[in-house]
Structure 1
Amino acid sequence: MASVEKCGRDGRTTYQARWRDEQGKQRKKSFTKKADADRHAATVEADKARGTYIEPSKVTVAEYARTWAEARPHRPTTARRTEMMIRLHIEETRLGPRKLADVRPSEVQAWATDRSRVLAPTTLRQAVGLLRSVYGAAVLDRLVASSPVVRIRLPRHERERIVPLSVDQVAALAEAMPERYRAMVLTQAGLGLRIGELLALRVQDVDFLRRTVRIEWQFTQGSKGRRSEPKTPRSRRTIPLPRVVADALAAHLAAHPAAEDGTIFTTQQRAPLGHVYYGHNLMSRAVTGVGLPPGTRSHDLRHHYASVLLAAGESVVAIAERLGHEDASLVLSTYGHLMPDSDDRTRTAIDAAWATVGESCAPDVPRADDRSVSRQAPR
């Protein structure tokens, strides 16, 4: 049971509440008034009885964030990104050295507002999501009673609509690449691959007879040619092999044989290509050379793939499977504005629904196309 003892020091009288935590370790806290000490002791015992007791802790936000991150089963790329986020946007801010239990919602809001001045809207949301996850774990570990990451207002952000590259633009981009790497553009645009999936593609993944491509591996940034499993379980997929891609791959392999492990796209030394070399160095020069919109990157070839399938009437679910998305709703939110003839379908749907209304229910109003309607202005 918690108890209160009267203590005297330097001529001052204090009252010390003492109790044992759930691990049996003795705890204490001093108060200047006996009533406050009694109230705290009673609260501790009540919290222990309800199972809501929170053990006082001196661990800081940054310290716990690092502990949380180290315990997560993150992929190497995610682990590096999370470590950088904690170091730059938690540890090196006013929030980092604060004790977990001392942080208030107003402090988190001030932190988010400060970070909005240096982070892009999407990255800011990732940072807030990271802090929310850290505090969620702290609540489960009973280091804090509740999370202060609540009702955080962020700057309004409207995501720009994707304007996909046309077939002519993709063809021009491929032509602007060095001969050894032209097939990479056509392959990424014709299969909708992520850059890591493209770089890790092997000869044994391509079935020219059945005209399919199996995505089994990827190269993550900084992996130095070490293959890892794709981004998500759905990312492991089989994609139909279009003839334009099959012809490009066949011509490429005839001129530039694959590496010993089957890697199709390699450097002149037959080493695996890196993300930066292909996705930034080669791509940026080619984009500038053909005058494509600034900021065009290799991922735009994946957008091109999705837009072509939508224009052809392919289902959203099928496109999600081809792209390796976990949820078809992501296809709708990203590419919904590209769906063809949406205006005509909207008109047809409404007209079809109202066609069931009986003529007797409709007001006796001339149709818009009735040529017998008098053009005389009403008196």
Structure 2
Amino acid sequence: MASVEARQTRRSGRDAKVYDVRFRDPDGRQRKRTFGKKGDADRFAATVEADKLRGQYIDHSDRTTVAEYARAWAAARPHRPTTARRVSGLIEVHIAGTRLGSRRVAAVRPSEIQAWASDRAQVLAPSTLRSLVSLLRSIYASAVLDRLAPSSPVVRIAFPRYERPRVVPLSVEQVRDLADAMSERHRALVITQAGLGLRIGELLALRVEDVDFLRRAVRIEWQFAPKARVRSEPKTPRSRRVIPLPQTVADALAGHIATHPPGSDGSIFSTQAGTRLTHHRYGSELFGAAVKKAGLPVGTTSHDLRHHYASVLLAAGESVVAIAERLGHENASLVLSTYGHLMPDSEERTRRAIDDAWCAIPAPLTAVTSR
């Protein structure tokens, strides 16, 4: 139990009485807080014992800063290498590199977090800002569990108004023009990515053994992360999937393999020297040059080929659940939020649904009045 002890001391050249509250923290360590008034000391002693019983004890003497705790939190997470680099970069630039980073974890107020988020909004894209705030929210959730903060100050954050632009998918003609703008060695890359809806890392990691021409299927089991030298598992469990192989893609792959043997690591797509293609070489240099040559909209990236794939399946009447599986998404909600406006004939279906419902109920008979 906490105890209160009075003792004499000198303050400003005069004798004064102070009150020491001695107690043990939940880890059994001896602690002491000093107060100038006995009432304050008694209230603290009662509060600290109650907090220990409720599991809400906070060590207010801890000097750990937000930046220090964020680094420790990130180091303990089972992040993939690419995720670890991204998280570390966000922490160093946008947390440690700001005034928030030097604040004690327990001392930060919600108003400070809002001010910090508003400041970061001036230099970050809306989606990146939300990811950054989500990261800080996770860090503080851990700090609360570690009893370094009584509660998380990352609450009710107001973000700048932002409306994500709707996806405008490439047409078949545009994808064909893009493929034609590529060199003969790299043309199959565009056709394969557009015809299978692959992420760039999945595309570059494809091996001959992953393509089953007989059963007309492609297994996605590996990816190349940016700047990685070896294959790694896809980003999520759902990313490991089997995709139906269209004949258009099968012909493109067969022709490419016959003309350009796989690389030294088994990759279908490789350089002339037999080494693997990098994200930068395909996604920036080759793809960017082809976009310009084909006259496609500025800002078109290889990810737009995934959008094209999804839009073609939607136009054909494929279900959003099946499309989510083909794309390797965790659930269909992302497909709906991203491509819902591309659902075909939605206006006519709306009209027909209401008309069919009303026509199914007989109209009431007109009352006949007698004279």
Provide the TM-score with structure 1 as the length reference.
0.93
Matched residue, 1:4? 4
Moved more, 213-222 or 285-294: 285-294
Partners of 1:70 and 1:133 in 2: CA distance: 14
Partners of 1:302 and 1:198 in 2: CA distance: 11
Is 2:279 aligned against 1:275?
yes
1:147 Cα deviation (Å)?
0.3
1:69 Cα deviation (Å)?
0.9
Is 2:336 aligned against 1:335?
no
Matched residue, 2:178? 173
Which of 82, 92, 95 aligns to 1:90? It is 95
Within-5 A mapping of 1:125-274 = 125-224=130-229, 226-274=230-278
Which of 89, 104, 107 aligns to 1:102? It is 107
Which of 296, 307, 314 aligns to 1:310? It is 314
1:12 Cα deviation (Å)?
5.3
The amino acid of 1:122's aligned partner reads S
Partners of 2:99 and 2:47 in 1: CA distance: 31
1:146 Cα deviation (Å)?
0.6
- Say if 1:296 and 1:356 are closer, same or farther in 2 by CA, change over 3 A: same
1:362 Cα deviation (Å)?
8.5
Which of 283, 286, 290 aligns to 1:286? It is 290
The amino acid of 1:178's aligned partner reads S
1:361 Cα deviation (Å)?
6.7
Unaligned runs of 5+ in 1: 364-379
Task: Tell me the C-alpha RMSD between the 2 structures.
Answer: 1.5
Q: Deviations over 1:166-216 (max 9, x none)?
A: 011001111111221110000000000000000000000001111110000
SS at match of 1:180: coil
Matched residue, 1:79? 84
SS at match of 2:158: coil
Q: Is the 8 A contact 2:192 2:249 kept in 1?
A: yes
The amino acid of 1:83's aligned partner reads S
Within-5 A mapping of 1:352-367 = 352-360=356-364
Partners of 1:362 and 1:213 in 2: CA distance: 64
Moved more, 120-129 or 250-259: 250-259
Q: Deviations over 1:301-341 (max 9, x none)?
A: 00000000000111111111110111011111110111110
Partners of 1:304 and 1:12 in 2: CA distance: 81
Q: Is the 8 A contact 2:144 2:152 kept in 1?
A: yes
Which of 17, 24, 29 aligns to 2:28? It is 24
Partners of 1:82 and 1:139 in 2: CA distance: 20
SS at match of 1:172: helix
SS at match of 1:219: coil
Q: Deviations over 1:282-302 (max 9, x none)?
A: 111111111111110000000
Moved more, 306-315 or 8-17: 8-17
SS at match of 1:359: coil
- Say if 1:12 and 1:68 are closer, same or farther in 2 by CA, change over 3 A: farther
Partners of 1:291 and 1:199 in 2: CA distance: 25
The amino acid of 1:176's aligned partner reads A
Provide the TM-score with structure 2 as the length reference.
0.95
Q: Deviations over 1:194-242 (max 9, x none)?
A: 0000000000000111111000000001102x00000111111101111
1:15 Cα deviation (Å)?
2.4
The amino acid of 2:315's aligned partner reads A
Partners of 1:123 and 1:300 in 2: CA distance: 20
